[in-house]
Structure formats: C-alpha cells, structure tokens
Amino acid sequence: MSASLLGSDRPLADVHDLALVDLDGVAYQGRLPIAHAAASLGEARTRGLRLVFVTNNASREPEEVASRLTGLDIPTDPDEVMTAAQACANLLRTRLEPGAKVLVVGGKGLTTAVTEAGYEVVTSAEDGPNAVAQGYSPELAWPDLAEAAYAVAGGAWHVASNRDLSLPTERGLAPGNGALVAAVVAATGVDPDSAGKPEPTMYRMAVERVGARRPLVIGDRLDTDLAGARAGGYPGLHVLTGVSSARDAVLAGPGMRPDYLGADLRSLLEPHPAPSEAEDGWWRCAGRSARVVDGSLELDGEGPAGIDVVRAACAAAWSAVDDGALLDPAGVPELTA
C-alpha cells in the first residue's frame, strides 16, 4: 500500500469553504505574530473562505481570543472562535445532568463554558463534585492540582480540555495542559477523557455552526491538529511555523499525516503540486526528488531545503513504510521549507 500527499491545481482558499485554523504556532506565537499569517488569512477571506479559529487552549474566552487576533491585524468576531473549554463543556453533557457539581481547574474560559452549560462550579473536592474539568491556565498551582487529585481519587469523572504536553510561546516551548494533567494522573492512576484535539469534537462543532461542506483543518501539530483532522475525516494542511517540523511530518504515522504541506499560511493561496512516483524508488514533486534506500532517506543533489523536497520526502517515506520497509529515524535529515 502506498500513500502520498494530495495535490491541488487551485489554491486551497478557492477549493474550501471553511478553514479551521489553529492559533498558537499558526496565527501567532505567544504574543508575537507569525509572518504572513494576517495577510494570508485576510486574502483568503476576500476569496470567500470563512474562518473559525479552533484552539486547545481553554484558559481564554472567545471574546478575549477574538480581541487578541484583531490586535494582530486578523479581524475576528467571538463567534469565529471555538475553544477546548466549549468542547469540554459539551463532553460533560454526555454524562452529567444540568445542575451537577463540577470542580473546574483552569482559567476563566473554562469556568464560563461549564457555567453556561448549566453546571454548578465548585472549588474544592470536599464539595463532592461529580466531575473535574481541567484546562490550562498560567496561574494554576500545586493546590489546584491537589484538589483535582483528591476529587478524582474520590470518584469524580476527570475530563481534560486537552492533553497537549507543550505550549509554544515567544520564548520557546513551555509545559502545556497535558503536562499538568499528567501530574493528576500520576497521583491518582486514573486516565482522563479529553475533549480537545486530537478528538475531532471541536472541528465538528465548528463545521455544524457554519454549515460548511468543504472544511479544511490548518495546524502546526501533527499529534493534535492533524490527528484530529484524520479522526474527523477532514483534509488537513500542516504549516511549518510551530511545533511539528518537516522531519516530524516525514516520520509521521498514518493517523497523523497531513493531506497538504506548506511553509506558512501563504500556502493557502498557492496550488499544491502532488508528488508522483518515478523510477528506482524516487518520488518527485515540482522538480525535487526523494527516496528511501536501506532504511535511510535519500534526497536529490539540491539539498534539504524547499517545501517541494519536503513533500517529495514525505511521499517517499510514507510509501516505503506503508509497503513494509523500515525507515530509521537516524537516517532522516533535518529538512527546511
């Protein structure tokens, strides 16, 4: 069985009617804008592409997220934001009746979402919560995690807004909600349910809200954004401006592979050439080539840079692995777009 990236003769902004756009690592990096993001999203909108920003961060409310994006020259309304806090509240509804007690361990965005879902928010395990809703907040401290552990150990249902281990900031990668959730898991031995990506819940909620027929997921993380796209059956564009690198894409398993690859959000406005198989195991894309030989990735003589060599490398690696060949990670060089 072979596998490859998809191709499109038309820019993706002209093919799809909704873009489900991740925030950290795609639209911005911490408090800093990402190059070409605002201009590219603005141009995509003029072409008729609707946007919903879908984030695993449950600490901020949609109004706050919209304000930050607008301040970065990406004008956004609150109803164009879908947060993991909203997805977490939606997951609680699957088991809890309105009025149930929920211990919220997280930011105000999660507190608001749980309250609006009809639950009584409590602050202590001694209040007898039916569930613990845990989301990221930079203000979380040991006492908060301890209350969550006490409640979960006492039988409360543990629901995490997401399990991202890291969070991209302007200074680098910081511990994400998954790292904080792991502390509660270590103390209790109870594995929580998760509402955020890679579960496709938020994507489905956003698609239903807009009534889209041809959605496209855009993200920087293979293990959350693109895995969620795969899980939901949505095509996914991986941009190389955040956590997951080009090399990560080459080594990705089937459940995390993107359908399209781009250096940044300008790739929304460009055609995507499809890689094709050539002779002697080579895969080619727009003049660049790659193949797997004896467990190592071999590139053409033009070097490891350029988005088309990354696309060719992904096609070659995925095809080889899916056909049963071994690919040694040590044999995959760093690639840049």
Cis peptide bond prior to 129, omega within 30° of 0: no
Residue 24 designated active-site: yes
Q: Nearest CA to 58 among 102, 110, 112? A: 110
Q: Cβ(220)–Cβ(241) under 8 Å? A: yes
Of these residues, 22, 220, 223, 308, which one is catalytic?
22
In the numeric block, which tokens belong to residue 73?
Answer: 């020259």
Q: Nearest CA to 317 among 305, 306, 329? A: 329
Of these residues, 9, 14, 17, 24, which one is catalytic?
24
Residue 323 designated active-site: no
SS (H, E, C) 130-144: CEEEECCCCCCCHHH
Looking at residue 310, its amino acid is: V
For 219, phi then psi, to 5°, come to -155, 170
Q: Nearest CA to 271 among 8, 31, 59? A: 8
Between CA 220 and CA 206 the distance in angstroms is 19
Which residues are annotated as catalytic? 22, 24
